[in-house]
Amino acid sequence: MDSIQVNGIRAYGYVGYLPEERVLGQWFEVDLTLWVDLATAGHSDDIKDTVDYREAIAMVKSQITTAKFDLVEKLISAIADKLLSLEKVNQVRVKLSKPAAPIPDFGGKITLDVTRSLT
């Protein structure tokens, strides 16, 4: 199956288990893989025959900036579900990272990775 990959989507949101995460907010980063048949668009050269990834980017940013969840697991599931509503998308992979997780003496990032499909 063909795919479109979109990496490095960044948005500021207020999702997190700790109260300060929901009040102060934090940056989130998202990488996407959208499985879609690209053969028709490859022949027609017409955007209506593919997924307009600008719409996918806008959906991700909107979910992050408006979500009011305690867990990033809920956020990543909401993002995946929303992306599956795009016409022509059969499956999605969403990688969501918190680059500055509020954990003492930890300088890394936390990443969740889910794959969802219509079936």
Long-range CB pairs of 46-51, under 8 A, 24+ apart, other chains included: 50/4, 50/88, 51/4, 51/86, 51/87, 51/88, 51/89
Q: 């992306």: which residue's tokens?
A: 83
User: Which structure tokens are listed for 68?
Assistant: 């009011």
What's the pLDDT tens digit per position in 49-68?
A: 999 999 999 999 999 999 99
What's the pLDDT tens digit per position in 80-114?
A: 999 999 999 999 999 999 987 777 788 888 999 99
* 24: Cβ contacts below 8 Å, ≥ 6 apart: none
CA separation for the pair 76, 82 (Å, rounded):
10
What's the pLDDT tens digit per position in 12-53?
A: 999 999 888 899 999 999 999 999 999 999 999 999 999 999
If you average pLDDT over every residue of the chain, what do you get? 94
pLDDT confidence of residue 67: 95
Which residue among 48, 95, 98, 109 is the active-site one?
Answer: 98
Assign residue 87 the CATH number of its domain: 3.30.1130.10
Q: What percentage of the chain carries pLDDT values higher than 70?
A: 99
Q: Is 98 a catalytic residue?
A: yes
pLDDT confidence of residue 107: 80
CA separation for the pair 97, 44 (Å, rounded):
36
Domain span holding position 68: 3-117
Say how many domains are in the chain.
Answer: 1
